[in-house]
Structure 1
Amino acid sequence: MDQRTELLLKLDILKEFYTEEIETISEYFSIHKFFDLQVIMPQTGQDSSFGIILSGEVSISDDKIENSSRTKGDILGEMAFIHGFRSDFIAASDGAIAIMTFDDIEKLKLKHPYLAVKLVDFVTHNLVNNLRKNDKKDNTEILVLLADDHLFSDLINLIKDHLHIINKFSIFTSEKLKIILEKNTNLTISQVIEPQSLILGETAIGHQILLDQVKAIMYLRDPVKVESNPASVEALSRLCDLQQVLFATNLLTANAIFQYLE
């Protein structure tokens, strides 16, 4: 049994994994020592790794997190799974961390698909639990309203028909639609999101979906046209399926959802 396996087996957080599974997973982790005040896992713009602290203490530079200290067994960088970026991590003592890149996860998936899914599920659940601990927003459910440019008028008419239902929710939409909707429907917009990056990024809605805060998403679109951004919509659709969030891309389905919400 190599050193990586021995170190990971000492972590209580991995108790749901069998010894044989940890032996396999350890092959895809790399062990890195760090020193007091050292920046750990420096940001790369689009971050692509996560780590598990093996020893020592690390501080997270994020004002939104009440307890920014992380110690042995805690995971760092899991926010990159949905945001594509994360906070700065500064060592508060000497220690060591086991790091796995997303490329390593892909390699694991090729040889051991079940184990890769189990690992990602484990890290994601840890992320959701941390988000719930630090979430300070109100409990009003979110309704996301988006549309391709040439379908703006259809969305406006849809909203007018169901305004009595929509007003019960916090509304998320794009910057362009925010201006149009507030002018034409007197709708109050709670937050602006970027439709070209629906899951990844600061203005995305990935973590709200994981927190079960999103009730439904209406994204009127023409799948034939380039502006519909099929890759982002496909990723959003899969996340909605996973979290059982209502998702409509056409008027027929959108009207059916509003009937259900009523």
Structure 2
Amino acid sequence: MIGSTGAFCLSLPGNDKNNERNSTDQFLSTSSDLRHVLNDDEIISLVPHLGIETISAGTILRDEGAPECSLLIIVSGEVRLSYTDTEVNKLNPGQIFGEGAFSEDGTSLEKAEATVDSVIARFEVRKFDQFLQQSPKSAQKLQNYFKELHLKRLHEVEGLSYNDSRKFLALVAHNEMKPSLMEFAKSHQDKLRRFHLIATGTTGIKLYQETGLMLSEKVASGPLGGDQAIGKLISESSILGMIFFKDPLTAHPHHADIEALGRLCDVYQVPFATNPGGASAILNYLLMDHPEEAVIPNRVLENYKNQQKKVVATA
């Protein structure tokens, strides 16, 4: 039988069908996630309610937000789950998806697509009542487990789609310049308190200890990836300004990361100060309204993005 997904449902006669069912029993009992929910006897009682299907590579098993009507178990092959064109997971034999069928809203969280030719076992929701009458305890265990799994995956997807709208003022300093940054922060506490602050490594701890300023976000020390973490926020337009007290007389092993921060500030036109005078000017600028100032287009960034669009269009 051909389903709406284009899957071919196997319908095997006699001994072949019995052999297939025994093989399915063994696989589900030993290699599938069902073994975390049901015991061997309960799995055997579930198998008659399953349909076995072969799926061609590229088949869309469900779309994001579509009604969830079946619980699907991968017997062989691979299925990709994606959310808003971002890969969430790749599922392998034994793993299960479609748990939204047991949720209150009954909708799918992610798009599911077979990446290679695959075989799946399908448990349709309409057959759940039959299973419930036959094995009420097993059916209840199954339902509760997949309701909880759906909530877990819902939280994961919500995390992917969460957009932090805050704009941060970044405070960074090399070790030799941390005392200078602390002095600057003490003398500008009232102004700094008006921003969401982000800092690297021990800078944030020292700021709180010495000035009482509390961070909205803290990242790792610069050499351990903190500079790159702030760079990511710059690329997402989440940094209002950058105050980086650099030690100009000492070589640094992560010099490339430091230079990359300055380059990103230029790319995204983020105010960037490396000393107290410049930092004070940035604070005053950010705290003022500038209704009379014309917005200067970022021509370099616009041109680059247009070039990349052409590359994608001709690929």
TM-score normalized by the length of structure 1: 0.49
Between 1 and 2, higher relative CO (CA 8 Å, sep ≥ 6) is seen in: 1
Using the size of structure 2 for normalisation, the TM-score is 0.42
Higher helix share: 2
